[in-house]
Amino acid sequence: MAEPRIENGVVIDDTFAEAFPMKATRLIITAHNPTWAMHAATATTGFATSVIACGCEAGIERVLSPGETPDGRPGVAVLIFSMSGKELAKQIERRVGQCVLTCPTTAVYAGLDEGEPVALGRNLRFFGDGWQISKMIDGKRYWRVPVMDGEFVAEETTAVTKGVGGGNLLILARDTDTALAAAEAGVAAMRSVPNVIMPFPGGVVRSGSKVGSKYPALMASTNDAFCPALTPLAKKSELSDEVRCVMEIVIDGLTDADVSAATRAGMDAIIARGSAAGVVRLSAGNYGGKLGPFHFHLHKLLDGEGAA
Amino acid sequence: MSQACHLRLKHALPVGVDASTLLPERLATLSIDEIARLPLELGRDLVAVGDLFDISLREADGVELRFEGDCRKLHGVGRAMGEGRLVVDGPVGDQVGVEMRGGEIQVCGDAGDLAGGAMAGGRLEIGGSVGDFAASTLPGAMDGMRGGVLIVRGDAGDRFGDRMRRGVAVVHGRTGDFLASRMVAGTIALAGETGEHPGHGMRRGTLVFAGAQPRVPDTFSATHHDTRVFWALMARSLAPFGAPFDGLAARCPARVVGDLGADGKGEWMLPA
pLDDT tens digits for B79-138? 999 999 999 999 999 999 999 999 999 999 999 999 999 999 999 999 999 999 999 999
**Chain B residues closer than 8 Å to A134 by CB:** 185
**B230 vs A30: CB contact, 8 Å cut-off?**
no
In a mutagenesis test of the A interface, which of B207, B225, B233 is the best target, namely the one with the most A β-carbons within 10 Å? B233
**A134 vs B185: CB contact, 8 Å cut-off?**
yes
Q: Model ipTM?
A: 0.92
Could you give the number of structural domains in chain A?
Answer: 2
**B229 vs A135: CB contact, 8 Å cut-off?**
no
Say whether both A214 and A239 belong to one domain: yes
**A107 vs B229: CB contact, 8 Å cut-off?**
yes
**B233 vs A149: CB contact, 8 Å cut-off?**
no
Residue A63, strand partner residues:
A76
Q: Where are the domains of chain B?
A: 1-64, 76-271
CA dist., res. B234 & res. B208, Å (int): 9
**CA angle, A157 then B246 then B164, to 5°:** 55
Domain presence at residue A32: yes
**Chain B residues closer than 8 Å to A131 by CB:** 265
Say whether both A147 and A230 belong to one domain: no
pLDDT in tens, A42-86: 999 999 999 988 999 999 999 999 999 999 999 999 999 999 999
Say whether both A282 and A175 belong to one domain: yes
Cα–Cα distances in angstroms (integers) from residue B272 to residues A159, B219, B220, B265, in the given order: 37, 21, 18, 22
CA dist., res. B172 & res. A111, Å (int): 33
Say whether both A182 and A257 belong to one domain: yes
In a mutagenesis test of the B interface, which of A69, A133, A153 is the best target, namely the one with the most B β-carbons within 10 Å? A133
Cα dihedral: A133, A137, A140, A146 (round 10): -20
Say whether both A156 and A167 belong to one domain: no
Which of B166, B226, B267 lies closest to A136 in CB terms? Answer: B166
Domain boundary among the residues A127, A161, A195 is at A161
Q: Which residues contact B247 (CB under 8 A, 6 or more apart)?
A: none
Which of A71, A137, A151 lies closest to B225 in CB terms? Answer: A151
pLDDT in tens, A202-248: 999 999 998 889 999 998 899 999 999 999 999 999 999 999 999 99
How many beta-carbon pairs under 8 angstroms link A with B? 50
**Chain A residues closer than 8 Å to B166 by CB:** 136
For residue A227, what are the domain limits?
Answer: 5-19+163-302
Say whether both A135 and A167 belong to one domain: no
Residue A19, strand partner residues:
A294
**B234 vs A138: CB contact, 8 Å cut-off?**
no
Domain presence at residue A307: no
Say whether both A73 and A177 belong to one domain: no
CATH number at residue A155: 3.30.70.520
Report how far apart the first and last C-alpha atoms of chain B are (Å, whole number).
49
Between A256-273 and A176-190, two packed helices, what is the crossing angle to 10 degrees? 140
What pLDDT is stored for residue A307 in this prediction?
67
Average pLDDT, chain A: 96
Say whether both A153 and A167 belong to one domain: no
Say whether both A56 and A167 belong to one domain: no
